[in-house]
Structure 1
Amino acid sequence: MSTPMFTDLSRRNLLKGTGVALGSLLLGNALLTGCSSPGGGPAGAGAKGATPLSMQLGWLLNSGQMGEAIALQKGYYDDIGLQFKIKQGGPSIDGIALVAAGESQIGQISSSPSLMLARSQGIPIKAFGVGVQEHPYAWISKSDSPIESPDDLIGKTVGGPATSEILFKAFLAANKIDPEKVEYVATGDTIAPLLTGQVDAFGTWLNSKSQRRELGEDFVSMPLAKFGVPLYAYIYYTTDEVLEKNPEIVEHYMEATAKGWTYVRDNIDEAAKAMVQMSPEVKLDDIKDDGGALMDYIFSADTKTDGWGTMKKEVWQTQIDLWDELGQFNSAPPKVEDVATWQILDATADVRPKAS
């Protein structure tokens, strides 16, 4: 079977030596609590006696954490008794390994395959909610040479980050396209190869408007979700141990965060400013554009019915089946109940706002 592609570090090695390996990583992993609360103190500082809760990211702060940023600024976590902090990820940090080792109680990853693969390797984590219902990843092409259907890829060259190759393989498999008839080139994150004609299509997140600013809106897209690959994005997860021993802190987190994201939905400008306060290195215009575009993927018919953060068992099963077909699991594929739990969603059903 092929080697899973969604790992930053060897999780098995990290988990064998958590005392030294994880400790050295965390020395450079700043706790992000820099937003100013209405009372003037640091947001997330928490009231006296508040319960500490940290969330480990799989990557750097971006528009996918706007809900948390506004919830920190508005004091939603403080109100519910949480002293909440975010730990950034990055290219040399394996967030899943850190959460599994107990360095943070919860985590967030950008795409669901990472969690499925980790669980198949015996790492005791489960998704308890989904931030983005419809994965925004797509292959885009210029409108003067459009690629409008999977069959149009035959004989073409497709580019994108190296880690997205497995997404492309899944896309081809779901649409019965022979991978030998399409060339994939790892071009990195820049859209330049598409603009210069080096590739015919380019893989990107459709909400990343800042990344394709040079292209503007003059392009054709083939989204994963609309062509047989219904992945989830910005997945929230925790360990089996936390779910068993301290589920209430996860429930409180979901309640406050759902409130934050619902506020963001109608107040993008304010939320973007909260993100910049939290992480001054991000650009206000980029966060505002990307965050605004992300709302279309976060709020859906499902969230209108079941509330922010909901997820479906059948969608998880489709993902597991497809990744198994691609030979991505080094052992037996995990079951849906292994990779996801509805325990937290059920407990917070009445407090997670329903919106579309």
Structure 2
Amino acid sequence: MAMIEDAGRRRALRTLTAGALAAGGGLLSVRAFAGGLATVNMQLGWVPGGNQVGEVVAKRLGYYEKEGIDFHIQPGGPNIDGVAIVASGRFQTGEISSSPSIMLAVSEGLPIKCIAVGLQQHPYTFFSLKKAPIRSPQDMIGKRIGIQSTGMVLLRALLAKHKIPENQVKIVPIGADMMPLVAGQVDAVTGWQTNTTALKPLGADRVDLRLWDTGVRLYALPYYATTSMLKEHPETVQGFLRATARGWMYANQNRDQAIDMLVKDYPNLNRADERVAIDSLMHYAFDQTTQTQGWGAMDAAVWEEQIAMYGQLGQFRAAQPKVDDVMTLDVLKATHSSRLKV
């Protein structure tokens, strides 16, 4: 893909901002009290599911309420630009699938910053089969790589990092399922390693090559807020992060109960599938870094690395953002002790 974000985002932001002004403004204020609580809406970039298990647990166990917050999850989807919605001030916080969406939005002038990340490493993976395994970037040479349009820049980054000319790999546009690999139409497909349900058709013959392990380090499930929210309501943002961290930590330690809560909130989910998926998810949410820095920790150096990489690939239409424009460690520092244990 040439660019992940386009003029549509800027138009959406202008429309949303105009709507906020027409409605009398004030949308950035979280002090629209609901029973004495500050309302915080978290806008997603997708339809809610297993990735929200921590927030579901935190809400059901009253962690947000204890922080003085009336918390709501706002669903996203393919036709919803969640980042633009939050940037307009309509909602207070947001979560997006991958960190590049944050830095690309900031480069376009949207006033948001990442405050924490849900997963310590990105689970984006190239899946192949044992009969024709792809265990390293060099194994891709001469192979057919099935990939969605949104993943093209990630493949380009991998090839560039390992100095593999793009014309040495055959790129095959595919959808989100694994069947092209099963049917032998491609030699590899892509997806999240945490999406255990989608990976079922590949069975025990699956071979994984994680993007992170190839040296392309991105974050997954980053949380963000507007710069105005961070400046005007820092205590509320800190309370939101404390409660969210507690929810994730409880879910990690009580996985069966967490999945019970999840399927009660989202009955369309399959409990058995989600119970398998949570083990993979928690492997990414908690690691050696979180043992000392707590859930949600992130490294400015990783952000610097990916900004430079996207700049080299020509992904920024406007000015290349600086690390401090894209993320802040202030909220993590203010909540450090609260994110180490439930």
TM range (shorter): over 0.9
- Residue 295 of structure 2: SS of its match in structure 1? coil
- Residue 234 of structure 1: SS of its match in structure 2? strand
Return the offset for 1:75: 1.1
Q: Determine the C-alpha separation between the residues in 1 that align with 2:276 and 2:114.
A: 28
Question: Residue 319 of structure 2 aligns to which amino acid in structure 1?
Answer: A
**Deviations 1:241-291 (Å, cap 9, x if unpaired)?**
001100111100111111110111122222122121212222222222222
Between structures 1 and 2, the one with greater helix share: 2
Query: Any stretches of 5+ residues in structure 1 without a counterpart?
Result: 24-45
Return the offset for 1:48: 2.8
Which residue in 2 is equivalent to 1:262? Answer: 249
Return the offset for 1:354: 5.8
Distance of aligned partners of 1:48 and 1:22 in 2 relative to their CA distance in 1, 3 Å threshold: closer
Distance of aligned partners of 1:19 and 1:327 in 2 relative to their CA distance in 1, 3 Å threshold: closer
Which residue in 1 is equivalent to 2:30? Answer: none
Which residue in 2 is equivalent to 1:93? Answer: 80
The reply to whether residue 5 of structure 1 matches residue 10 of structure 2 is no
Q: Determine the C-alpha separation between the residues in 1 that align with 2:206 and 2:136.
A: 14
- Residue 316 of structure 1: SS of its match in structure 2? helix
Q: Determine the C-alpha separation between the residues in 1 that align with 2:18 and 2:185.
A: 45
Return the offset for 1:186: 1.6
Instruction: Map 1:139-288; keep pairs closer than 5 Å.
Output: 139-288=126-275
Q: Determine the C-alpha separation between the residues in 2 that align with 1:156 and 1:289.
A: 31
The reply to whether residue 52 of structure 1 matches residue 50 of structure 2 is no
Distance of aligned partners of 1:19 and 1:329 in 2 relative to their CA distance in 1, 3 Å threshold: closer
* Selected match of 2:98 from 111, 114, 126: 111
Return the offset for 1:183: 1.4
Distance of aligned partners of 1:319 and 1:278 in 2 relative to their CA distance in 1, 3 Å threshold: same
Which residue in 2 is equivalent to 1:15? Answer: 13
Return the offset for 1:309: 0.4
Which residue in 2 is equivalent to 1:353? Answer: 340
Return the offset for 1:331: 2.0
Question: Residue 338 of structure 1 aligns to which amino acid in structure 2?
Answer: D
Q: Determine the C-alpha separation between the residues in 1 that align with 2:219 and 2:19.
A: 30
Return the offset for 1:351: 0.7
Q: Determine the C-alpha separation between the residues in 2 that align with 1:238 and 1:139.
A: 31
**Deviations 1:205-250 (Å, cap 9, x if unpaired)?**
0111100111123211111111111100000000110011001111
**Deviations 1:6-39 (Å, cap 9, x if unpaired)?**
56x811101222267789xxxxxxxxxxxxxxxx
Q: Determine the C-alpha separation between the residues in 2 that align with 1:333 and 1:282.
A: 40
- Residue 215 of structure 1: SS of its match in structure 2? helix
Q: Determine the C-alpha separation between the residues in 1 that align with 2:119 and 2:338.
A: 18
- Residue 211 of structure 1: SS of its match in structure 2? helix
Q: Determine the C-alpha separation between the residues in 2 that align with 1:295 and 1:172.
A: 29
Q: Determine the C-alpha separation between the residues in 2 that align with 1:21 and 1:117.
A: 24
* Selected match of 1:307 from 294, 298, 301: 294
CA contact (8 A) 2:17 2:89 kept: no
Question: Residue 313 of structure 1 aligns to which amino acid in structure 2?
Answer: A
The reply to whether residue 339 of structure 1 matches residue 330 of structure 2 is no
TM-score by length of 1: 0.89
Question: Residue 181 of structure 2 aligns to which amino acid in structure 1?
Answer: L
Question: Residue 96 of structure 1 aligns to which amino acid in structure 2?
Answer: V
TM-score by length of 2: 0.93
Return the offset for 1:50: 1.0
- The number of residues matched between the two structures is 331
Query: Any stretches of 5+ residues in structure 2 without a counterpart?
Result: 22-32
- Counting aligned pairs with the same residue, the percent is 42
Which residue in 2 is equivalent to 1:294? Answer: 281
Question: Residue 286 of structure 2 aligns to which amino acid in structure 1?
Answer: F
Q: Determine the C-alpha separation between the residues in 2 that align with 1:280 and 1:6.
A: 33
CA contact (8 A) 2:17 2:88 kept: no
In angstroms, what is the RMSD of aligned CA positions? Answer: 1.9
Distance of aligned partners of 1:272 and 1:21 in 2 relative to their CA distance in 1, 3 Å threshold: farther
Task: State which drifts further: 233-242 or 11-20.
Answer: 11-20
Question: Residue 282 of structure 2 aligns to which amino acid in structure 1?
Answer: M
